[in-house]
Structure 1
Amino acid sequence: MRKEVPDHVRDCVTLLLTVIASTSVMAFYTYIAACKSNTAIYIGVTGDLLKRMAEHKSGCGSTHTTKYRIRKLVYFEVHETLPEAIARERKLKRWRRGWKDALINAQNPNWSDLMMEVSFL
């Protein structure tokens, strides 16, 4: 014979599973990084924005970021899936430079390094 689970236990388990599911969801990022003078930019995708920017800052990023000393995170977007983030990256890479600058200026008019903001994600 099967015992019925009390409602309060079922509610607690449901809440716990919801919390676990919401905290284990991985986010993916499309980001734009720039050099100190904002003349060179790089658009990329990552699942760990802090780690990826640390690689750029240490010079271990892509050849382009190393060559042009791209170290500053100036724009990023959060996506639920990797295909969404990759699609957005491809779209941004096809944009003209002026459009990219306008996108950055809309959210970060001073082109400040947003790494402090990312550390709270």
Structure 2
Amino acid sequence: MKTYAVYLLARKRDGTLYLGVTNNLSRRVWEHRSKAIPGFSARYGVDRLVWYELYDRIDEAIAREKAMKKWRRAWKVALIEEANPTWNDLAEQLNA
């Protein structure tokens, strides 16, 4: 069974944020870090995984991402700080 993730990347603490959805979080973080896909995250150096949620169904993950795209920045920051108050890079957890 596939797992889907909604995730937030940051350039640094309280820096630029990027919100996305993927079916392979490890691969997607690597793509952001290596700038394999040109776009927003490559242009602004947004590559630190600071928050994510996992879903069994893609429709749920896409609905969550779409809802969060409408959120104010302060709400996203509060979500990050609730789960990851020091804004640690969570990518290492993915490979553990």
Q: What band does the TM-score fall into relative to the shorter chain?
A: over 0.9
Identity rate, percent: 38
Kindly provide the amino acid, as one letter, of the partner of residue 80 in structure 1. D
Question: Which residue is 1:8 aligned to?
Answer: none
Unpaired segments ≥5 residues, structure 2: none
Kindly provide the amino acid, as one letter, of the partner of residue 72 in structure 1. R
Question: Which residue is 1:41 aligned to?
Answer: 17
Question: Which residue is 1:95 aligned to?
Answer: 71
Question: Which residue is 1:65 aligned to?
Answer: 41
Unpaired segments ≥5 residues, structure 1: 1-24
Two-structure CA RMSD over aligned residues (Å): 1.1
1:108 and 1:65, CA in 2 relative to 1: closer, same or farther beyond 3 A? same
Aligned-partner Cα distance in 2 for 1:84–1:74:
20
Kindly provide the amino acid, as one letter, of the partner of residue 43 in structure 1. L
Question: Which residue is 1:17 aligned to?
Answer: none
Kindly provide the amino acid, as one letter, of the partner of residue 94 in structure 1. K
Checking the alignment, whether the CA contact within 8 Å between 1:52 and 1:61 is kept in structure 2 is no
Aligned-partner Cα distance in 2 for 1:83–1:61:
24
1:62 and 1:105, CA in 2 relative to 1: closer, same or farther beyond 3 A? farther
Q: Which structure carries more helix by proportion?
A: 1
Q: In the alignment, is residue 107 of structure 1 matched against residue 83 of structure 2?
A: yes
Displacement after TM superposition at 1:116 (Å): 1.4
TM-score relative to the length of structure 2: 0.94
Structure scoring higher RCO (CA < 8 A, sep ≥ 6) equals 2
Aligned-partner Cα distance in 1 for 2:40–2:88:
21
Larger Rg over CA atoms: 1
Kindly provide the amino acid, as one letter, of the partner of residue 28 in structure 2. R
Checking the alignment, whether the CA contact within 8 Å between 1:41 and 1:70 is kept in structure 2 is yes
The residue matched to 1:36 in structure 2 has which SS?
Answer: coil
Checking the alignment, whether the CA contact within 8 Å between 2:13 and 2:87 is kept in structure 1 is no
